[in-house]
Amino acid sequence: MERDLQQELNDLRKSYNSLKAHFDSYVLEHDQVVKELKESEQRFELLFDKAPLGYQSLDFDGNFIEVNQRWSDTLGYPREEVIGKWFGDFLSPAYREGFRKRFPLFKERGLIHSEFEMVHKNGDLLFIAFDGRIGKNQDGSFKQTHCILQDITQSKIAEKALRESEETYRMLFDSIDDAVFISESTGDGRSNRFVKVNKIACLRLGYTEEELLTKSSADINSERMQSMVASLMQDLLKRKHTVFETEHVTKYGRTIPVEISTNTEQKNGKFIFHSIARDISERKKAEMELIKSKELAEQSNRLKTAFLANMSHEIRTPMNGILGFAGLLKEQNLTGEDQQSYINLIEKSGARMLNLINDLIDLSKVESGMMEISFTYTNLNDKLDFLYNFFKSEAAQKGLDFYLESKISPKEAIVSTDQDKLFSILANLIKNALKFTTRGSIRFGGELKGENFEFFVRDTGIGIQEEKQKIIFDSFMQADSSLSRGFEGAGLGLSISKAYVEMLGGEIWLESEVGVGSSFYFTLPLVKKTMTETAITEQLLSNIDRENPGKTILIAEDDEDSMIYLSILVRNMEYKLLQARSGTQAVEICHNNPDIDLILMDIKMPFMDGVSATKLIREFCPNLVVIAQTAYALEIEKEKYGGIFDAYLTKPVNANELRQIINQYLVAGS
C-alpha cells in the first residue's frame, strides 16, 4: 500500500515538474512576444512619425482620424489642431466644393488619386498630391481612408513656367514676319520632312499646317533650284550653318524668291534643320530696278553727250545766221533787196532759236511737274482746218501732197480739252513729218472711236528703224542722231508730244518702215461734259445712299482711331463690315469669308504689311477689289506696288472720296 502511494507521489511530482517546465517556457515565450511587440510598436511609431511622406486617414464624413508628423511639418498644423476636423477646412476656397462632391466617389472607388490646393497655417497655398486606398470592415463596409501625400508646389510652379515658356515661344514662333520651318531627316540627310512650321509659312505658301507637315523642303522648292538646295543641305551637315537664296513655289504655282538661313544639329540619330525663310521679292525687284536705273543712267549719259553736241549745233547754227547776217547789214553799198534778204534770214534764224528755247522750257516744265492743264471748250474741226491752212504752203514748197482726212461730225466736234496742248501735239507731229519727208505725201486727221478720239499723221518719209522706234519718244532723240545727219532739230518735239498726250489721259504710238514712211497715232478721252463736277459728285453720293447692295467690306487697319472712323463710314452706307488688325488677319479672314466684295487695305501694318497680304489674297481671290490706304500721295510711291491694288485712297481719307470709290466698284459695277 505504502509502495503504491509512493508511486503516485512520484507520478504527481513528475507531472508538476512537467507543468512547471511548460509554464516557465510559456512565461519566457510570452515575455519575448511582449518584448517583440513593444519593439514593433516602437518601430511603427518611429516609421509613422519620421516617414518622408505625409499620412492621413479620414472617417466616413471626411474628418481626420490620424495624421503623422510629416503631415504636420508640411502644412504647419500640430496634430491636436487637426484630428476631428473636416478635411475641406484645410483646402483653398477654390477646391473646397470640389472635394465635397468628389469624396463620396472616393469611398465607392476604393482607390484615391487626386491633387488639391491646401492652405498652410501661415497662409501660403500649397499643391498636394494624394495617393491611397479605402480601408473596410470585415463585412465590407467603409471604415476609413488611408492616404500618403506629397508637396508638389515646386513642380507645379516649374510646370507653369514651362507652359508659359512654351506659349511665349509659340507666340514668337507664329508672330515672326518670316516663314520658319523645322525639319528632320535620318541617315545621310538627303531627304527631310517638316515637323513644325509657323503661321507665316502657311499663309505665304497657301497650305494649311496639316498639309505642310506632310511635305519636305524638296516639295516647296522650284525645280530649277532643287539640285542646288540638295547640295547645300549636304554641305550643311558639315558646316552646321549656311545662308543661301532659292525659290519657293506656293500651292497656287506662284514663285517667291527667298533667302534661307539654316542651322542644323544631330539628335538621337537624326539631323534637325532650323530654317528661316525671308521673302526677298522686294529686294529682287529693287535689284532689278537698280540694274535698270544703272542702264538708264548710262543711257542718260550717252544722251547727255549727244544732247550737248546737238545743242551746240542747234544753238550755234541760228546764232551764226543771226550774227553773220547782222554783221553784213553794216556793210555799205547794200541794195534794198540784199538788206531785205539778210533781214529775212535773221528772222528765220531767230524763229528757229525761239522754237528751241520754247521747247526746252516746255520740256523742263513737264519734267518738273509745273506744267498745268487748262480745259476749255473747243471745236476740233476748226483746229484741224487751221493746222491744214497753216502748213499747206510749207508742204507745197517741198513739193509734197498735203491732205486733211477728218471723220469728225459737227455734232461730235465741240469738246472740252486743253486746246493749246492738242494744237502743240498735232503741230509737232506734222512738223516732224515735213522735216523727214522729201517726196510723196502727208496726211492727218481724226475720228471718234468709242469714247476716245483717235488722231493720226502719216508720211512717206525716210521711216524709222525698228530698234530706234523704242526710244524715238525720249528727249533729244532722233531717228538719225549721227553728226552727219541731214535734218535740223533738237529732238524734243516727240518727247513733248508724248508728255502732253499722257497728261491729257491718252496714249501715243507709231508704225514705221524704213524707206516707206511713218504713221503716228494718239488718242484722247475727249468726252462731252453734260454737268458740272459738283453735280456729278452729288449724283454719286445720292446713288450710294439710295442703294443697299448688301455686300461685305473688310477693313484692314491697325490704327484704332482710323478703324473707328472708317467703320462708321462703312456702317452708315449699310454694308456688312469685317475688321482685321494686321495683314495676317486679313489673309485669314479672306480665307474664311469668300463672300467679301471689297477690302480697304492699309499699307503699313504689323506682322505682315498690306502689300504682302494683298499678294497672298490675289492668289486665291484674283478678282477681289482691294483699295489701298496710303499716307503717300506721290505717283512714284504707287508705281512701286506693281499694280496689285485696284485704286488708292490717300490718308486722311475723305468721306466723299471713300463713298465715290465704293460706288464705282460696288454700286456702279453691280
Q: What is the CATH number of the domain that holds 67?
A: 3.30.450.20
Using alpha carbons only, give the angle 467, 469, 475 rounded to the nearest 5 degrees: 110
Instruction: Decide if 233 is inside a domain.
Output: yes
Of the three residues 524, 549, 565, the one that is the final residue of a domain is 524
Instruction: Please compute, for residue 41, the number of CA atoms within 13 A of its CA located in the half-sphere on the CB side.
Output: 6
Whether the Cβ atoms of residue 356 and residue 322 lie closer than 8 Å to each other:
no
- What is the per-residue pLDDT across 438-478, written as a single tens digit (0 to 9) for each? 899 999 999 988 888 999 999 999 888 887 777 777 655 54
Residue with cell 515735213: 434
Instruction: Name the DSSP letter for residue 221.
Output: B
Span of 142-146, 253-257, 262-266, 478-482 with lowest mean pLDDT: 478-482
Does residue 217 share a domain with residue 292? Answer: no
CA distance 550 to 561: 25
Domain boundary among 226, 260, 279: 279
261 and 148 in a single domain? The answer is no
In a domain, 569, yes or no: yes
Task: Kindly indicate the confidence band of residue 546, based on its pLDDT and cuts at 50, 70 and 90.
Answer: very low
Q: What cell numbers appear for 534 in the block? A: 459738283
Is residue 483 within 8 A of residue 448, CB to CB? The reply is no
- Whether residue 469 is contained in a domain is answered as yes
Is the domain of 566 the same as that of 646? yes
pLDDT at 77: 93
Backbone angles phi, psi at 324, to 5 degrees: -65, -50
- Which of 483, 500, 524 corresponds to the end of one domain? 524
Q: 460 lies in a domain?
A: yes
Higher pLDDT, 222 or 239: 222
Look at residue 22 in the predicted model and tell me its pLDDT: 67
Helix (H, G, I), strand (E, B) or coil at 114: strand
What pLDDT score does 369 carry? 66
Q: Is the pLDDT of residue 604 over 60?
A: yes
More confident residue, 235 or 495: 495
More confident residue, 89 or 42: 89
User: What pLDDT was estimated at residue 625?
Assistant: 92
**By C-alpha distance, which of 439, 490, 496, 428 is closest to 463?**
439
| Each residue's pLDDT tens digit, 198-214 | 888 888 889 998 988 88
Domains in the chain: how many in total?
6
Taking the model in full, what pTM does it have?
A: 0.35
Band of the pLDDT at 542, cuts 50, 70, 90? very low
List all residues 6 or more positions away from 389 whose beta carbon is below 8 Å from its beta carbon. none
485, part of any domain: yes
Whichever domain contains 497, its CATH number is 3.30.565.10
- Mean pLDDT of the residues in the chain: 78
Highest mean pLDDT among 414-423, 464-473, 543-552, 625-634: 414-423
Q: Which three cell numbers stand for residue 355?
A: 522754237
Residue 165 within any structural domain of the chain: no
Instruction: Return the minimum-mean-pLDDT range out of 195-199, 320-324, 353-357, 563-567.
Output: 353-357
| pLDDT of 480 over the 60 cut | no
pLDDT score of 520: 93
Angle subtended by helix axes 281-328 and 336-368, to nearest 10: 160
The DSSP-derived string for 423-452 is: HHHHHHHHHHHHHH--SSEEEEEEEEETTE
CATH number at residue 328: 1.10.287.130
| Helices 655-662 + 533-546 axis angle, to 10 | 70
Q: Which residues contact 590 (CB under 8 A, 6 or more apart)?
A: 554, 596, 599, 617, 620, 621, 624
The span from the first CA to the last CA of the chain, in angstroms, equals 147
Same-domain pairing of 355 and 398: no
Residue 227 and residue 234 in contact, taking contact as beta carbons nearer than 8 Å: no
**Is 163 inside a domain boundary?**
no
Q: Percent of the chain, pLDDT > 70?
A: 77
Look up the domain containing 454 and give its range.
373-524
pLDDT tens profile 149-192: 888 888 888 888 877 777 766 776 666 778 888 888 765 545 57
Rounded Cα distance, 665 and 658, in Å:
11
At 533, the pLDDT band (50, 70, 90 cuts) reads very low
Encode pLDDT of 366-416 as tens digits: 666 666 777 777 888 888 988 888 888 889 989 999 999 988 888 888 888
CA distance 386 to 410: 16
Residue 169 belongs to a domain: no
**Sign of the CA dihedral with 74 first, then 76, 79, and 83 last:** negative
Highest mean pLDDT pick, 158-162, 522-526, 535-539, 625-629: 625-629
CA distance 242 to 248: 17
What are the distances in angstroms from CA 189 to CA 46, 234, 258? 61, 7, 22
Q: Are residues 380 and 503 both part of a single domain? A: yes
Task: List, for residues 268-323, the tens digit of each pLDDT value.
Answer: 778 888 888 888 888 888 888 888 888 877 777 776 666 666 566 566 667 766 77
- For residue 543, pLDDT over 60 is answered with no
Say what percent of the chain tops pLDDT 90: 13
Q: Are residues 650 and 662 in the same domain?
A: yes
For residues 553 and 663, membership in a common domain is answered with yes
pLDDT in tens, 84-107: 999 989 999 988 888 888 887 776
Same domain assignment for residues 398 and 327: no
Would you state the pLDDT for residue 647?
Answer: 85
Distance CA 489, CA 318 (A): 11
Pairing mode, if any, of strands 452-459 and 142-151? unpaired
Q: What angle, 0 to 180 degrees and rounded to 10, lies between the N-to-C axes of helices 655-662 and 560-572?
A: 60
